Amino acid sequence: MNRRYLSFAALAITLLYGASFALFEDGAPKGYAAIGGVVVALAWIAVGVFGRDTDRA
């Protein structure tokens, strides 16, 4: 898969996860940070594992 698309998706997930903390008035629910961190990490790992550079020979 094209690395640019995967990178954009991972960046969007990261930004939306970070911005979602502003939605909670009394702090995030218990476990929210850990679960979200795993999702963000998996998104960036997918970039490295499945991403293919299109400009390589």
Q: What is the pLDDT of residues 4-57, one digit of tens each?
A: 999 999 999 999 999 999 999 998 999 999 999 999 999 999 999 999 877 665
pTM, full prediction: 0.84
| Helix ranges restricted to H, 1-57 | 3-20, 32-50
Q: Return contacts of 31-40, CB within 8 angstroms, 24+ apart.
A: 39/13, 40/10, 40/13, 40/14
pLDDT tens figures, 2-18: 999 999 999 999 999 99
Q: Are 8 and 44 in contact (CB under 8 A)?
A: no
C-alpha to C-alpha distance for 8 and 27, rounded to whole angstroms = 28
